[in-house]
Structure 1
């Protein structure tokens, strides 16, 4: 009985030490390289940055910017927004993308990369506050949720077609560039 209690205490100490030693500034430094890797995987999914010939670049919808605000978000809100962008991007790319005809292996790598990155940012927010952090400016989350809802609605309305996925892939690629500039 005492051994079981000691094991549980040991596990809690290990988990707590992992959270305490998490350095969010290191994640930010590491993230710049990860964003580049994410963008490369996004392009490799469809065989490169160019759109398929049957999907003209003209007439692509404008979904707006995922981070639009009357003022520049705080450092903490920007970091949390990036984590939320990864989480919501993963959610979008788990939808019905069979018509996109993407490289399955690369797509799975892309999804794993998004999951890992969203986990890093979530742990970072918890490490700073001891609990899940909340955005100081609620408009940041609202704007992100509206942006990703537009992407999901567009895909659904276009019946998850190849060209719809291509438009979303291009848009998310631009979001990766925005994320790189934000951090």
Structure 2
């Protein structure tokens, strides 16, 4: 092996070690980023929904958030739950918003923020998924079924809007449990 080849190999090794260190730092600070996103996302959701209309009270329903999800045993479980919540919210807000009358720019800012935070979380996620993720999927399926059943009406979106505000409270609880 020539001296040039050895130097190049050492530089590559050094670069890999530095980038691995930077990536682990990012994961260590992820709960701070998530907490900031929770606040920003909550503000955007509040702005996009407007005031709750009283005639929508008759459509009020309980989607039954799986409370067990809020009691993770490990920080990685909290991170997986937050990731799943954000992915599901992205799916819900990516379709059939035409009847809401919501400001499209605010919705797009919210979706862009969700996509960025989902990507950040994915870099730090463990590969194994838990059963609590399945319970979250069922919870969000109930929300999607409700919207579909109500034909994505304005009142259905108002009910879901209120539920999404609660989701951000759940996400904030989980974010606090993401710390190592």
Indicate the TM-score class for this superposition, using the shorter chain for normalisation: 0.7 to 0.9
Distance 1:45 1:142, change over 3 A: same
Distance 1:21 1:102, change over 3 A: same
Cα distance, 1:59 vs structure 2: 5.1
How far apart, CA to CA, are the structure 1 residues paired with 2:28 and 2:77? 14
Residue in 2 that maps onto 1:44: 47
TM-score by length of 1: 0.78
1:119-167 superposed Cα distances (whole Å, 9 cap, x missing partner): 1111121xxxxxx6212xx321110110111011100000000111111
Residue in 1 that maps onto 2:97: 97
Question: What is the DSSP-based 3-state SS (H/G/I as helix, E as strand, rest coil) of the residue aligned with 2:94?
Answer: coil
1:164 and 2:156 aligned: yes
Contact 1:67 1:140 in 2 (8 A): no
Residue in 2 that maps onto 1:128: none
Q: Which has the higher helix share?
A: 2
How far apart, CA to CA, are the structure 1 residues paired with 2:86 and 2:72? 20
TM-score by length of 2: 0.79
Cα distance, 1:72 vs structure 2: 3.5
Q: Which is bigger in relative contact order (C-alpha 8 A, separation at least 6)?
A: 2
1:21-71 superposed Cα distances (whole Å, 9 cap, x missing partner): 452221101211210110110011123xx3134323x65110011453596
Cα distance, 1:89 vs structure 2: 0.7
1:23 and 2:26 aligned: yes
Q: Where does structure 2 lack aligned partners over 5 or more consecutive residues?
A: 1-7, 176-180
How far apart, CA to CA, are the structure 1 residues paired with 2:105 and 2:54? 23
Contact 1:67 1:143 in 2 (8 A): no
Q: Where does structure 1 lack aligned partners over 5 or more consecutive residues?
A: 1-5, 126-131
Distance 1:177 1:24, change over 3 A: same
